[in-house]
């Protein structure tokens, strides 16, 4: 009696072959994506500048919208705190961006050296951001009687600006 072949439960396997040799056409995880074209340093720099500008724009816009909404509700102290917090968030991001750019430049210039040297001014710029934010918040809260919570919410505008810029990239298909 001849036995009829049964249909394979794994159609990606060749009949009579080793089960570990899955057909590459049926396994999308094993397919190698096409290589991306290499970007030049100038293209990377332009992309970074555009993205940073977008983050700053959205940070400023979200903080401004919140400050206007607080003013419309006649919460002028909150509106001032939101505006100051947003301005500090923009300044903080700008200094962070400049500091990281200087760090990358220093690392590239010292590539291959046994002990790279980080300029002291770079440490001062990183720490100066926090010192400035703390001093301005202290003065604003103590002298002008602005609620500290409103200033802190204004500082969070950087997070909303970054999220909006990222979502724009996701939904518009930018890289």
What is residue 99's predicted lDDT score, i.e. its pLDDT? 86
What residue ranges do the domains of the chain occupy?
A: 54-109+116-172
What is residue 47's predicted lDDT score, i.e. its pLDDT? 87
25 has pLDDT over 70: no
Task: Give DSSP secondary structure letters for the chain.
Answer: -PPPPPPPS-TTBPTTS-TT-B-TTT-TTTSPPPPPPPPPHHHHHHHHHHHHHHHHHHHHHHHHHHHHHHHHTT-HHHHHHHHHHHHHHHHHHHHHHHHHHHHHHHHHHTTT-SS----HHHHHHHHHHHHHHHHHHHHHHHHH---HHHHHHHHTHHHHHHHHHHHHHHHHT--
pTM: 0.72
Summarize pLDDT for 93-137 with one digit per residue, the tens: 999 998 888 888 888 888 888 777 888 888 888 888 899 999 999
160 has pLDDT over 90: yes
Share of the chain above pLDDT 70, in %: 77
């Amino acid at each position: 009696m001849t036995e009829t072949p049964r249909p394979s439960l794994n159609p990606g396997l060749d009949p009579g072959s080793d089960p570990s040799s899955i057909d590459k056409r049926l396994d999308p995880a094993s397919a190698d994506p096409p290589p991306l074209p290499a970007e030049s340093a100038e293209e990377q720099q332009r992309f970074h500048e555009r993205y940073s500008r977008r983050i700053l724009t959205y940070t400023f816009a979200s903080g401004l919208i919140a400050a206007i909404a607080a003013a419309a509700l006649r919460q002028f102290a909150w509106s001032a705190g939101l505006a100051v917090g947003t301005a500090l968030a923009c300044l903080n991001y700008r200094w962070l961006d400049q500091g990281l750019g200087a760090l990358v430049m220093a690392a590239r210039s010292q590539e291959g050296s046994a002990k790279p040297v980080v300029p002291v001014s770079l440490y001062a710029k990183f720490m100066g951001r926090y010192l400035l934010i703390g001093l301005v918040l202290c003065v604003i809260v103590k002298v002008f009687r602005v609620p500290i919570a409103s200033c802190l919410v204004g500082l969070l505008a950087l997070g909303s600006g970054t999220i909006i810029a990222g979502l724009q990239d996701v939904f518009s298909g930018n890289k």
